[in-house]
């Protein structure tokens, strides 16, 4: 099953000296229903690979996925569960050919993009950004209509990203999202592990779990 809570990093998060400690706490909190995305455009592939290798033992113990953004080679070499492909990455089709067993996600901004990614072999799509977010400063969100359109058009799970807080999860799930992804909502909290638990418990409350 595709995880329902995706904790996505950025360069600031990865650069913290206590990142691995915080990441392990988030992975323990989310367990097999969560994924930790190693995403950092300014960090070299060698550093991303190093972090993925460090987190791989916890991936095995907790079931929480380690997902490497952009770099399929680093994901494969480190033993990560998946890779998240963006406009910076090779195509989903090319990634599927070289990594047939790797779980693949694709970042999309429209229903048409989601269909193309799913047809090429993506296991899930991350659709965004839904609401205004610091990671896309000055760019308005695409709204719930994006989630509705993507879930109606694509035959793979849709993960909503962009300004997602626990209080907004019910609307996203009602719009058809399989789950959500968060950056500042988790890593910006003083206790990232507690924040991850809040996302998961909110999901369970809405789903009746």
For the chain, report the end-to-end CA distance as a whole number of angstroms: 15
| Whole-angstrom distance, CA of residue 202 vs CA of residue 193 | 14
Token digits of residue 125: 């799509």
- pLDDT surpasses 90 at 24: yes
- pLDDT surpasses 80 at 12: yes
- pLDDT surpasses 90 at 83: yes
Give pLDDT tens digits for 142-164. Answer: 899 999 999 999 999 999 999 99
Q: Which residue has the higher pLDDT, 138 or 200?
A: 200
What confidence score (pLDDT) does residue 138 get?
Answer: 66
Choice among 31-45, 125-139, 157-171 with the minimum mean pLDDT: 125-139
Choice among 62-71, 105-114, 135-144 with the minimum mean pLDDT: 135-144
State the residue for tokens 């965004």.
Answer: 128
Q: What predicted TM-score, i.e. pTM, was given to this entire model?
A: 0.96
SS3 181: strand
| Whole-angstrom distance, CA of residue 53 vs CA of residue 75 | 9
* Burial status of residue 195 (CB atoms within 10 A of its CB: 0-12, 13-18, 19 or more): buried
What confidence score (pLDDT) does residue 134 get?
Answer: 72
Structure-derived torsion over alpha carbons of residues 199, 55, 71, 188, reported in degrees to the nearest 10: 40
Mean pLDDT of 78-92: 96
List 159's β-bridge partners, or say none: 126, 179
Give pLDDT tens digits for 132-145. Answer: 877 656 677 789 99
């Amino acid at each position: 099953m595709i995880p329902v809570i995706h904790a996505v990093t950025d360069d600031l998060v990865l650069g913290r000296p206590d990142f691995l400690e915080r990441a392990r706490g988030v992975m323990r909190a989310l367990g097999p229903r969560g994924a930790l995305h190693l995403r950092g455009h300014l960090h070299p592939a060698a550093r991303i690979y190093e972090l993925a290798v460090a987190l791989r033992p916890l991936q095995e113990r907790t079931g929480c996925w380690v997902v490497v953004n952009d770099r399929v080679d680093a994901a494969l070499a480190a033993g990560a569960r998946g890779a998240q492909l963006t406009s910076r990455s090779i195509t989903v089709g090319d990634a599927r050919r070289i990594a047939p067993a790797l779980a693949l996600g694709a970042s999309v901004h429209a229903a048409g993009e989601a269909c193309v990614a799913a047809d090429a072999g993506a296991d899930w799509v991350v659709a965004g950004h839904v609401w205004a977010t610091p990671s896309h400063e000055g760019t308005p969100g695409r709204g719930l209509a994006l989630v509705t359109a993507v879930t109606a058009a694509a035959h793979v799970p849709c993960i909503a990203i962009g300004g997602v807080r626990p209080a907004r999860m019910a609307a996203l799930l009602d719009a058809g999202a399989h789950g959500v992804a968060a950056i500042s909502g988790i890593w910006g909290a003083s206790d990232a592990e507690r924040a991850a638990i809040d996302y998961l418990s909110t999901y369970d409350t809405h789903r009746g779990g």
